[in-house]
Each structure stands twice: as structure tokens, then as C-alpha cells.
Structure 1
Amino acid sequence: MAGGKVKNRWLIALGAVGIHISIGSVYAWSNFTGPLGEEFGWSSQQVQLTFSIAILFLGLSAAFLGWFVEKYGPRIAGITSAVLFGVGVFGSGFAIQLESLWALYFFYGVLGGIGLGVGYIAPVSTLVKWFPDRRGLATGMAIMGFGFAAAIASPVMDWLIGTAGIAMTFFVLGVSYFAIMILSSLYLSRPPEGWTPKGFNPEEKKDVKSQDLANIRAKEALKTKRFYYLWIMLFINITCGIAVISAAKPLAENTVGMGTAAAATLVGVMGVFNGLGRIGWASASDYMGRSNTYIIFFALQIPLFMLLPVTTSVTLFVVFFGVIYTCYGGGFATLPAFIGDLFGTKELGAIHGYILTAWAAAGLAGPQFAAIMNDVTGSYANSMVYFGALFILALIVSVLTKVDIRKKQSIMREEQNQRRNV
């Protein structure tokens, strides 16, 4: 490595967590649903559309601005995210003062959503490069922040809304998130060319199983089966997971007879499982292998979704929900490391962005399907069986991915042997 002081990669990880804890507050949007409806007479559907627009633009901006992250680097991308998300949240306060739902859609949904997408992928692709020895742990740490954010932001939002009003809450949050994200972004950078962590020797990765399958550009990745396998797996995991999350409270009340307060508490506690699943599963994938981890996700959730509608035990219901939440979060956190394994780190941010279009699609498909099933059959529980069937498809795709990986490794092994024999 050339001279010059190298940044502390754990502080880089801390900066990534700072960004994700800020943007992850989008999952606490439901705190505004009641107050906005009471103050302006807007319906729950109108208010909830703000969240849907934000998630839609998160997926779209992650997909189409991945090149921006790769070209200008994580610091510029992080600062851009801070400006867009900070202005989006702060501007939502003006939308409230104007009593304009459309202005809220624009500031929080569109501007905030674009900031979400850029902020989501910027630190993750950087961490994979700083932690070649522990990719799963690194990405799990950052995306864990996104999972825990709602648990941190929710009580703060409730307190601010109650004491300062809705508009002032947006003003305070916008300034706070902007400051945290700017400070976090300023330390972000790619590792120097040729840098490796102490004690890690890339030459030791001569075993084909421990090598990346390729190191290609995003456009090349789009031509591979592996890219679409990952997209389908993420889409199904999010579609089913976000549907059960969106219906968690009525499911708990109607399936096992939980009271309203207990069901609300369950929803809050499950957010912790979401965060723990992100760091836990992603870290475990460093040892189990990424493809094996996804196979376990789907093999676990098939019976859990099938059993949820017929479960009468509160304890079992809570356990089932806890495991589902960990798998939901783990799917997000394990993905960037999986992308690195399959496609290398050359344009990881751009590839990650393309695959995250599955999030945008699933964010619309999952809750809508569960809501339609509830309207038609009178129960959210009836949709769980269909989601269980979807997981069977996801399991098949995950096995096909593993088979494809082994074929590629076999080709790499043959090429390696040929080079040795020359």
C-alpha cells in the first residue's frame, strides 16, 4: 500500500449506520397517519400513499442512480442523499402549514424517496470494499441501522407531534437528519487502491469456493441468470414479509385474540427482530455461504406462513412472527454481500440499485394483495397460504441459484487447473 494514513474502516461502518438510521425512519411513517387524518380530515389511504410514494422512489432512484454512486463516490452520494432527504422532511413541514397533501407527496414522497434510494446504496457498496474478509457482517451493520431506525424514531416522533405539532416535528426531524447524514457522509470514502485489511491475504482465496464468481459491470450483470434469480428471491421475500408486516396488528387481534394494546406492542417489539435479523443473518452468511442462507430463509418461512392462519397459541404466534421478521430483515442485509460474491465489487452499487427495483415492486404488491384478500374473504389470514406457496417458488429459485453457482465454480476450477498445467 502506498504511503498515507488509511481511514478506520470501523468508523466508515459507523458513518454508514448514521445514514441508515436516519433514512430508515421512513418505516415509522405510521406515527403521522392518525394525527394527519385528525387535523385535516385526510383518509388513512391518502396519508399512507405518502409512504408508498417514498418507497416507490426509493426503489427507482436506487436503480437509476447506482451509476451516480459509482462515478462520484460514497461521500458525494451521501451528501446528496442528506440534502434530498433533509429537504424532503423539512419541506414536509411547509406542506403541513399549507395544508397541501400534494406538497406532502412531493416533499416527503418524491424528494425524500430519492434521498432514501441514494442514501441506501451509497454506504453499502463502500462497506463491501472495506470488508473483503467479512462482507456479510459489514453490510449487516449498516442495514441493521435501517431496521432499528423505526424503533428509535417512533417515540421521538410521538413526543414531538404531541408537544410541538406536526409541522414543527417535520422541521426538527429534517434538520436533525440532515446534520447526522452530513457528518456521517464526510468520513465515507473508498479504500485506497490495493488496500487490504491487516491479516487478510487475497492470495489465500485461491480456493474457487472463496473467490468471487466474476468482477463485472452492471450492464454485464443484467445479462446473467444469477441477476434475475436474485431479483425474484428478493421480490418474493419482501412481498410476503411487507404484507405480513402491514397486517401484523389485525392478524394478531383476529387470529389469536390479542387485545389492541398487546397487538400494538407486538408490532413494536417485532421491529427489534427485524434489526437483529439484519445483523444476525448477514453475519452468519459469512460462514454458511450466501446461497445456503437464502435457502434457509425460504425453507423456514414456507411452514410458518402456512401455520399462521391456524395458530391459536399466542406464544407460537409471536415466535412465528419473530422468525419471519428476522428473515425479512436478513434478506435485505445479506443481499449486498451476495451481489459481491456473484458479480464482484467493480459496480456493486449500480447492480444493487437495479436489484432493489424488486423492493419498489414488492412494496406495492404485498400490502395490496393482503388488503384485497381481506376485503374479499374478510380476513388477512387467508392470504398467508398464498404467500407460503410463493415461498415454495422462492425456494426453487434459490436452489437453482446454488446449482448455477456450482456450475460456474466448476468452470473456474477447470480454468485454474489449465493455467497451472501450462
Structure 2
Amino acid sequence: MSVATAPNPGAAPLLSRERIVARPGFNRWLAPPAALATHLCIGMAYGLSVFWLPLSKALSQSAPAAACPDMTLAQALFTTSCDWRVTDLVIVFSIGIVVLGLSAALFGGWLEKAGPRKAGAVAALCWGGGFLIGALGVYVHQLWIIWLGMGLIGGVGLGIGYITPVSTLIKWFPDRRGMATGMAIMGFGGGAMIGSPLADLLIKHFHAGNPASVGVWETLTVMGLGYVAFMLGGAFGYRVPPAGWAPDGWTTPTAKNAMIASGHVHLRDAHKTFQFWMLWLVLALNVSAGIGVLALASPMLQEIFGGALIGQPGVPLGSLDAGQKAGVAAVAAGFVGLLSLFNIAGRFFWASMSDKLGRKLTYAIFFVLGAGLYAAAPWAAHLGSQALFVAFFCVILSMYGGGFATIPAYLADIFGTQFVGAIHGRLLTAWSTAGVVGPLVVAEIRQIQQSAGVEGVELYARTMYVLAGFLIVGFICNLLVRPLAARWFMGDAQVGEAQGHGQKTATATGSQGIGKGGFTPAIVIPWLVVALPILWGVYVTFGKAVVLFR
């Protein structure tokens, strides 16, 4: 029996879903490099901080009096004579993360109809185009243009780009959902690992060539054009399986695992279920706990251990001279680098493990182990054990990344795969919420403690206990997730209509060699294209992390 595909797909528009239905001989292992090409670019969202300090001195290069500490935010948006403050620039990241959640929620349904090629192309133009608009804003010194380009328009590219590969890979790897989503979302974690050092190199290069410029607008231009090209390459590499396709010999393991649904829930009904909101809280609480630490990882290590980081135990940070503080800051930068490596590795490791353990048990491990490690972190700090303290947070950050990578597979298990991209998009509003709540809670508790004269370990101890509480609540929410009742699933006619989109429904699973094949020579080049930047990023990051072990 054969899988029927769209009639005359060559006549379909270039970006249409009908044009990219896989034909006989397509190897499903070509899908992950396309997904990684998107996520390795949009992951630079976490590396945007590399631009803020140079931009805060953009006019001071030629006019030392450009600092205007008393200007309002409204004045900062339109000034052409005052340097921007870092606090004004950081808002770009907040806008981007909020818009990520909103755009993923709004455009998820459109993605399922339009297909990953069209969605990937839109994401490329928005994300890369946002950098180009941001470059214009830097060049004319207009902060509102940077907010518009890198925040609003770039945020739309973030949202669409984030969910596009996830939806596609889950359909290609129903037998390895966790591994598939782990591969793509690992790329998002690696985006900053590659983009931050690359941006730093470009900024220094352009500044050296033109000392009157801080080198940021030139860097944004180069990276924006590069991101458009790289993401479009990924978008045109996408293929979707024919409706009803599955790997040869594979069937949904519903008989062995009641948590894996055999049907599909419609997008319009998913958010009406109790399970959706429990999973929303599961993601929000896991992310809030992890992102709060990421936001203050460097100052936390410096303020807790102080001189001990450079071989002077018992000397608080405030008592060190400028040179010693620079040494402490270098060690803290290594700590941040190490956390980023575990964040990335955890995305693939934990998501892959969830294929064996199940999503619910995997999240239970995140919450129980994470809460225990947060609660034990002050104890490790009191012992003066830097190694133990660092190890605790490396494991915590691996589970933070693992939570991002496991949640799409969890959604596919509960709601089916037909609308998983759109449902995942709506769930990402939890990330937007956590991106505000997590850092705010950590910063506020730290500020209260600092105002009370608290120093060292105690400055962060209460924060650790609060974050442990977040994870305990998350554990309860995860415990409440149950299989959906049969009434929520679409009937065969509805599924057939949803799967149509211009192609016939398959009459049998797996055939004509569609999706078959492992790592053959034909797929080496696309894998090398995405693997080489990742390896370079790992090399650079590990070089920074080595400082911790000297």
C-alpha cells in the first residue's frame, strides 16, 4: 500500500505546504538540521546583552558629555544627543520574550495550515530583519527603532521560529518525540553560545576599523543578513510527512502507556481542558525557578564566595581591590559559561530520557530533584564548597533546559500531534510570564536582603528557598495531569479534514521509503553546516568555563 500525496505538488506555490509534502526516498534525518538552522539563529535572543554595554557608550566615543542620567524613559526613546542607559536597552529583551509568547499563541494555528516552509521564511525575515532595523536605530541613534526592530518585529520572528521546527519534528519522529524536540530546542540554547562570542568579535573588529563607532550597527547588519540567509536555508529544507504517515512497524503505544493519546484534540478545545492549564503552570514554574538564577548567576557567585574564588577565603567582595574584583568577575563569567553548557546539554539529554521514562516522571524528577538542590545550595555555600555549589546549579540548569525540550513531547502525548505546534504556541505564554516573574522575584528578594544589610550566603538563601517552593507547587501541578477523556478528541472526519491541506489522507502507514534511512552520506553536509557552529560555540564557552577549575 502506498501513501498518497498531493496531486501535482510542483504546481503549488513555492512556500505552500502542498509543495513540501515528502516524496519517496526522503530521509527524515534531514529534518533536524533544518530545525537547528532556525533555532541556532533565534537563540541569540539570550545573547543580546553583549550589545548593551557598547551601546550605552555609543555617543561618548566622540562626546564625553553625552551621559544624561536624569532623562526620562520617554526622552531616552527619542534623544539623539544622550547616551542610552543599560536599563533602557534591556527592555528590548523583555519586549522580545513577551512578543514571543503572544506571537506563538496567535500564529500557531496559521502555522499548521501554512506549513513550516512559509512559517520559517516569515520567521527569518522578522528575526533577521529585526536586527537590520535595529542597526538603523543604532546608526541614527533612535532607541524606539531598536525597540521596534529587535523587540517587536524580532519577537514575532522568535515566536514563529520557535514553534515551527517543533511541530515538524514531532510529526517526523512520533517514535522519538522527546529526542526530536530536544535536538531542535538544544539549538535554541546554543544560539547565544554561538552568537554572543561572534558578536563580540565583530564589535571589536568594526570598532578597531573605525574608533568613532562602537561597532554595533555594523555588527547588527552583518548578523541580521547572516540570520536571514541561514534561516531561509533551514526553511527551504523543511518537508512534512504525508497525512497519516508513521515509521514502518510503529504504532502509538497507547496500550502500554495511558498517558499517550491515540487521537487528536482540536486547537479550539485544547485550552478548555484542565490538563492544558496544569501543563501551563508546570512550564511557568520550572522556567521561573531557572530563569531567575540565570539572570543573577554572576553576581550571586561573586557575592557568596567573594575572595575565595581567587584563593582568598573569608575576604568579602567589597573588601577586594579593583584587580582582585576583575579576577573574581572572570571566575563568575566561567560559571555562567558552564551553566549555559549544562542548559544546552540538558535539553537533549532530558528530552531523550523522557522517551524512556515518560514525560510525567521526567518532570517529577525535575521538580523533586530541583527543589532539593535549591534547598541544599545555601548549605553547600556555608560549607565553603564552591565545587558542590557549582555542581548543584549545573544540574538545576540542565533541568531548566530539559523542561523546555520535554514540554512539546508532553503536549503531543496528551493532545495528539495534529495541532501540537499551535497548542505549544499557546502554552509558551507561560514562558513570557515566567520571563518577567522569575527575575523580578529573585531581584526583589535580593534587594530587600541587601537593604537590610545582609551579605554573603544569606543574601541569596531566602531566594533559594522561594525557588524550591516554586518547584514543589510545580510537582503538584504535574501530579494532577491525567489522560484526557474521549469526548475531547476529534472524530475521523474532523481529523481527515484537519490533515487535508491539499493532500490526500494516507491509506496505510510508512511506505515507498518515505522517512527511511539513518545517517547516510547524503545528509552529512546539512548536519555539518549546523554542527560546526555548535562545536565552535562549545569550544569558546568551555574556554571561559575552564577558569573555574584553575
TM-score with structure 2 setting the length: 0.72
Q: Deviations over 1:206-234 (max 9, x none)?
A: 44537416411122111211101100010
Given the superposition, is the C-alpha separation of residues 335 and 50 from structure 1 closer, same or farther in structure 2, using an over 3 Å criterion?
Answer: same
Counterpart position of 1:186 = 236
Match of 1:9? 28
Q: Are positions 1:323 and 2:395 aligned together?
A: yes
**Which residue, 350, 356, 363 being the options, matches 1:287?**
356
In the alignment, does 2:216 pair up with 1:216?
Answer: no
- Larger relative helix fraction: 1
2:150 maps to 1:149: no
Q: Which residue identity lines up with residue 53 of structure 2 in the other structure? A: G
Letter of the structure 1 residue corresponding to residue 146 of structure 2: L
Match of 2:297 among 248, 251, 261: 248
State the match for 1:358 in structure 2: 430
1:228-257 per-residue CA deviation (whole Å, 9 max, x = no partner) reads: 110001000111110000010011111223
Whether the aligned pair in 1 keeps the contact of 2:292 and 2:438 (CA below 8 Å) is yes
SS at match of 2:243: coil
Q: Indicate the SS of the match to 1:194.
A: coil
Task: Tell me, yes or no, if structure 1 residue 377 matches structure 2 residue 449.
Answer: yes
Instruction: Say which of 54, 57, 62 aligns to 1:35.
Output: 54
2-structure distance, mates of 1:394, 1:240:
10
CA distance in 2, matches of 1:279, 1:30: 25
Q: How does 1:25-64 map to 2 (within 5 A)?
A: 25-40=44-59, 41-64=83-106
TM-score by length of 1: 0.93
Is contact 2:175–2:250 with CA below 8 Å preserved after alignment?
Answer: no
Report whether the alignment pairs 1:94 with 2:136.
yes
Give the counterpart letter for 1:267 in structure 2.
V
Find the aligned partners of 1:273 and 1:22 in 2 and give their Cα distance. Answer: 19
Distance 2:252 2:368 in 1: 35
Supply the distance in 1 between the matched residues of 2:198 and 2:238 (Cα, whole angstroms): 27
8 Å CA contact 2:254–2:262 kept in 1: the answer is no
Give the structure 1 partner of residue 477 of structure 2: 397
Distance 2:338 2:288 in 1: 21
Distance in 2 (alpha carbons) for counterparts of 1:308 and 1:112 = 37
Distance 1:377 1:179 in 2: 48
- 1:196 pairs with 215, 225, 246, which one? 246
> Which stretch of the first structure deviates more once superposed, 25-34 or 354-363?
25-34
Q: Does the aligned pair in 1 maintain the 2:253–2:260 contact within 8 Å?
A: no
CA contact (8 A) 1:277 1:326 kept: yes
Q: 1:262 aligns with which of 331, 336, 341?
A: 331
Change in CA separation of 1:28 and 1:313 when aligned onto 2, cut-off 3 Å: same
> Deviation at 1:335?
0.6
Amino acid corresponding to residue 231 of structure 2 in structure 1: M
Per-residue deviation, 1:45: 1.2
Do the aligned partners of 1:371 and 1:380 also contact (CA within 8 Å) in 2? no
Query: Who is 2:366 aligned against?
Result: 297
Cross-structure match for 2:42: 23
Query: Taking every aligned residue pair, what percent have the same amino acid on both sides?
Result: 41
Cα distance, 1:189 vs. partner? 2.5
Paired residue type of 2:342: F
Q: Tell me, which stretches of 5 or more residues in structure 1 are unaligned?
A: 413-422
Tell me the secondary structure at the aligned position of residue 209 of structure 1: coil
Aligned to 1:347: 419
Which consecutive unaligned segments of at least 5 residues does structure 2 have? 5-22, 60-82, 207-214, 310-327, 451-458, 490-550
Give 1:201 deviation, angstroms: 2.3
Q: 1-side partners of 2:305 and 2:477: how far apart?
A: 33
Quote the offset at 1:154 in angstroms.
1.4
2:239 is aligned with what amino acid? S
Shifted more, 153-162 versus 286-295: the winner is: 153-162
Aligned to 1:229, which of 259, 264, 278? 278
Deviates further, 241-250 or 375-384: 375-384
8 Å contact from structure 2 (residues 252, 262) kept in 1: no
State how far apart, in whole Å, the 2-side matches of 1:43 and 1:247 are: 19
SS state at 2:130 partner: helix
After TM superposition, the structure 1 = structure 2 runs for residues 267-282 of structure 1, keeping only pairs within 5 Å, are: 267-282=336-351
Q: Give the superposition deviation at 1:150.
A: 1.2
One-letter amino acid of the structure 2 residue matched with residue 172 of structure 1: V
Which residue identity lines up with residue 168 of structure 1 in the other structure? Answer: E
The answer to whether the 8 Å contact 1:251/1:381 transfers is: no
Q: Distance in 2 between matches of 1:203 and 1:359?
A: 29
| Worse-matched range after superposition: 320-329 or 31-40 | 31-40
Kindly name which structure, 1 or 2, has the bigger radius of gyration based on alpha carbons: 2
Deviations 1:294-326 (A, max 9, x none): 000000111211222342310011101101110
Asked whether 1:158 is paired with 2:200, we answer yes
Per the alignment, residue 226 of structure 2 pairs with: 176
Q: Cα offset for 1:2?
A: 3.0
Deviations 1:128-173 (A, max 9, x none): 0000110000000000000111111111110001111100100000
The answer to whether the aligner puts 1:80 opposite 2:122 as a matched pair is yes
What is the CA–CA distance in structure 2 between the aligned matches of 1:285 and 1:106, rounded to whole Å? Answer: 39
Q: What's the counterpart of residue 77 of structure 2? A: none
Counterpart residue identity of residue 52, structure 2: T
CA deviation vs aligned residue, 1:265-305 (integer Å, no higher than 9, x gap)? 11012111111000000000000000000000000111211
Q: Is the CA contact 1:213–1:408 (under 8 Å) kept in the aligned structure 2? A: no
Aligned to 2:179: 137
Paired residue secondary structure (1:39): coil
Once residues 148 and 380 of structure 1 are traced to their aligned partners in structure 2, the CA distance between those partners, rounded to angstroms, is 28
The residue aligned with 2:79 is none
Whole-angstrom CA distance in 2 between matches of 1:42 and 1:287: 50
Shift of 1:195: 2.0
Amino acid at match of 2:199: M
Quote the residue 2:153 is aligned against: 111
On the 8 A contact 1:213/1:342 being kept in 2, the answer is: no
**Matched residue count:** 407
Instruction: Tell me the distance in 2 between the aligned counterparts of 1:204 and 1:394.
Output: 27
* Structure 2 residue 459 is matched with structure 1 residue 387: no
Q: Aligned partners of 1:107 and 1:191: how far apart in 2?
A: 35
Check 1:293–1:208 CA distance in 2 against 1; reply closer, same or farther (3 A cut). Answer: closer
Work out the CA distance in 2 between the residues paired with 1:363 and 1:185: 28
SS in 2 for 1:256: helix
Structure 1 stretch displaced more, 41-50 or 208-217: 208-217
What's the C-alpha RMSD, in Å, of the aligned pairs? 1.8
2:262, 2:396 → 1: CA distance? 30
Supply the distance in 1 between the matched residues of 2:362 and 2:305 (Cα, whole angstroms). 30
Secondary structure of 1:202 counterpart: coil
